[in-house]
Amino acid sequence: MNFNIFLPYLLVAALVTYLIRAVPLVLIKKKIENRFILSFLYYMPYAVLSVMTIPAVFFATNHIVTATAGVAVALILAFFKRDLLTVALGASFAVFVAELIV
């Protein structure tokens, strides 16, 4: 990507991300008590990761078939509570094998 086009994007992403972290750490000393806000922030990460993963993951490899194989392996490993690394590498390995077959 052209660096001159890239740079403003980089600055926007970095600045927004940094301010989200820095402003509360510097300014807020009290605990949030509002139950709705706490609940909203509790569910948000799961919702974000789910939206980012499905359906995008099915288009993350060369074929939708191999991606599906990877997702299946990831779901099984995650269901049995394997750690992040095992799930990620297991899914990658499944895709690799599936691509050799397809």
Partner 1 sequence: MKSRTEIQENTFLKGIIDGIPICIGYITVAFAFGIFAVSSGLTPFETVLISMTNVTSAGQLAAVPIMISGGTFFELAASQFVINLRYALMSVSLSQKLDSSVTLLDRFIIAFVNTDEVFAVASSKKAVGKTYMFGLILTPFLGWSAGTVIGALAGSILPPLVISAFGIAIYGMFIAIVVPPARENKNILFCVIIAVILSCLFRWLPFLSGVQTGFVIIICSVIASVIAALLFPIKEKEAEHEL
**9-48: which residues touch partner 1 (CB under 8 A)?**
9-10, 12-14, 16-18, 20-26, 28-29, 31-32, 35-36, 38-48
Amino acid at 65: V
Query: If binding is defined by CB under 8 A, does position 101 make contact with partner 1?
Result: no
- Strand locations in the chain (E): none
Give CA–CA dist 41/48, Å, rounded. Answer: 11
Residue 69: name the closest of 36, 101, 31, 33 by CA. 101
Query: If binding is defined by CB under 8 A, does position 65 make contact with partner 1?
Result: no
Both tokens assigned to 26: 């510097």
Q: How far is the CB of 102 from partner 1 (least distance, A)?
A: 11
Q: Which of 64, 65, 93, 101 binds partner 1 (CB under 8 A)?
A: 93
Cis-peptide, bond into residue 55, ω within 30° of zero: yes
Q: Which of 64, 65, 91, 101 binds partner 1 (CB under 8 A)?
A: 91
Query: If binding is defined by CB under 8 A, does position 64 make contact with partner 1?
Result: no
Query: If binding is defined by CB under 8 A, does position 102 make contact with partner 1?
Result: no
